[in-house]
Amino acid sequence: MNSHYLALSSLITLFFFSTILPPSYCTAVEHFAVCSRPFDCGRIKNISYPFLAGDRSEFCGIPEFKLMCSDNEYPIISFEELEFRVLDINQSHYIMTIARSDLLNSPCLPKLDNTTLDFNYFDYYTPTDQNLTLFYDCPFNVSGLDGAIYFPCSSGGVGAADNTYNYFVNESFRGIHELSEKCDRNIRVPVLRTALINEASGLQNVLNQGFDVDYHNSWAISCFGCEASGGICGSNSSSHKFVCFCGDGEQPSACSSKPTLVTGKHDRKWIKIVAGLVALGLGVLLTCITICCLRSKRSTTSTPFFMKKTKNEHDLEAFVRNYEPLSLNRYKFSDVKKFTNSFKVKLGQGGYGGVYKGELLNGRLVAVKVLNASKGNGDEFINEVASISRTSHVNIVTLLGFCLEGKKRALIYEFMPNGSLEKFIHGDNMETTTMPLGLEKLFQIAIGIARGLEYLHRGCNTRILHFDIKPHNILLDENFSPKIADFGLAKLSPRNESNISMAVPRGTIGYIAPEVFNRNFGVVSHKSDVYSYGMMILEMVGGRKNIDVGISNTSEIYFPHWIYKRLELHNDLGFPINMTVEETAMVRKMILVGLWCIQTNPSDRPSMSKVIEMLEGNIEALQIPPKPFLSSPPRSPIEESSTY
């Protein structure tokens, strides 16, 4: 019986392999083989999709990623009227380092165009880039030049006029407007922040190091899945849309099975012979399968070995296989029990399971989040692995590994000794909550959270929307530096798409933006995270939950209204009267920024980049926002801590 069953399994495998070969098999194999070979261009080696160069077939890349590789030492890419030298390509992180060709030999020979990218495919990589503005032909007696650095243009080109001067300034320079009016011309050029650390190296050296460009797009997620399934990324020759070249033909996103890579010269005749033999043997295979099925005496009520796992568990395993390149440590559940001492020390409890303290074999302390098998279909697990695995930021918690064993699922994170922010800002006696941290530390925590969110929204190759920003999900390390955690409700979005489709609301009561539960308020986007952040920093400065302001009927009063009223009463929020001028400014900044962030219309809320600018800027520059007009819905004690 076993031999019959093994024969049946082998025949089924062969049957599927044979029947998936379409008439276009030869063309698909040709594209698969041609595009699987990386190419070299100047000093840049092993370049692959989405880049095109030389005579590389157009179906192997995207036209907007065309590189010129004539006799140049470096490849050249063009945006608008400007050419850029490609200094490096980090294909694993979708980051390209480029420098303006017209500024490589001298800053005095520019085309006088600001550096503009094709934002449909490229964007500045804000974690490493900073703008410089170069001013040419300025008069000597320009006032307010503190921070402007002179550079010469001795003869020829722009900025070489007699009795004039040239300056460059970074983006924090306050006199840009005055210089623009006084100087004849200027251009804006991105450069690497690290290059500006040593300005003594000179402007030319800074320009020659170029700047980083994020070229991630919606195709990148598909390409990742295609390559993980054994395919080769490519494009449709006519529409230039993404396709996955597989041994079984051209697929829209991923291969149904891993094909054998055909390299070198193919023998077309051999391919035709194999295809012919498979076609002739198809009838024989069908006959054999029918006979084996009739002869099998296995009970129809017993479950075959390939059906022991549920479809959901198969989907999770397939997801993990596709994410193998991320090099996360995978642990057995028995290992998880060992380094948590059978889940002895519980750190907390969330909607999807408990969090326990553990210690790895190397002595590193970790926090282990054990997910409830009864909650969801593994979405929490997929969301956390897919989102956090893409991040690397000082204000984002680090995922070290995971466990997936049937219905047993766990996530292993770095350990944060000071726990969550919630326990430091909530309590009946405010002097026993916020005061131990101090206003300055709370203020720095608010800025750190903002930087983490800015990174998720703009710094990652794929935009990550958290959808559950609240004090409980902000963890504090040994220095009380904040890290954003719990990405179970997160959604990934291409950088060039601002609107998010969402079937049901997600988030925690009291922090959910209006548009998330009612589309009449606007579209769901990264501004929904901004709203949650605003609610949270209002709690931080007020020392109260936004759903508990000291009265029993919370439907009669709305937390921001309470804050706004105290703001009108000159910061009467319960803080000590003897606050310093600096502390008073910090409190007022957090209040004003928080109120701007929770504006009902998403378009009225600032981006997280603007939030950082407001927090770090001058208090006099902040205006009081319009008063919130929403009323808080009635909430029960159960709802107050619930998560959708």
Separation between Cα atoms, residue 389 and residue 326, nearest integer Å: 7
Tokens of 319: 């997801």
Separation between Cα atoms, residue 625 and residue 547, nearest integer Å: 21
Tokens of 494: 């291409």
Contact 84, 212 (CB under 8 A): no
Tokens of 360: 């790895």
Closest CA to 588 of 485, 439, 406: 439
Tokens of 349: 């409890």
User: Which ranges of 324-378 would DSSP assign to H, the alpha helix?
Assistant: 333-339
Strand partners, 165: 138
Residue type, 8: L
* Residues contacting 393, CB < 8 A, separation 6+: 127, 451, 452, 455, 459
Strand, helix or coil for residue 173: coil
Give catalytic status of residue 477 as yes or no: no
Q: At what angle do helices 25-35 and 268-295 cross, to 10 degrees?
A: 120
Closest CA to 103 of 217, 215, 18, 208: 208
Strand partners, 638: none
DSSP tag of 602:
G
What secondary structure, in 3-state letters, does 214-275 show? ECCCHHHHHHHHHHHCCCEEEECCCCCCEEEEECCEEECCCCCCCCCCCCCCCCHHHHHHHH
**HSE on the CB side for 147, CA within 13 Å?**
12
Spot the catalytic one: 137, 212, 248, 468. Answer: 468
Which regions of 7-155 does DSSP assign to beta strands (E)?
Answer: 39-41, 44-47, 52-53, 66-67, 76-79, 82-90, 95-100, 123-124, 129-138, 149-150
Which regions of 456-541 does DSSP assign to beta strands (E)?
Answer: 463-465, 474-476, 482-484, 491-493
485 class by beta-carbon count within 10 Å (0-12 exposed, 13-18 middle, 19+ buried): buried
Q: What are phi and psi of 345, to 5 degrees?
A: -105, 110
Closest CA to 126 of 65, 193, 209, 63: 193
Residue type, 484: I
User: Is residue 50 reached through a cis peptide bond, with omega within 30 degrees of 0 on the bond before it?
Assistant: yes
Beta 52-53 vs 66-67: how paired, if at all? parallel
Question: What is the CA 580 to chain-centroid distance, rounded?
Answer: 39
Helix (H) or strand (E) holding 596: helix 581-597
Separation between Cα atoms, residue 636 and residue 622, nearest integer Å: 36
Provide the annotated active-site residues: 468
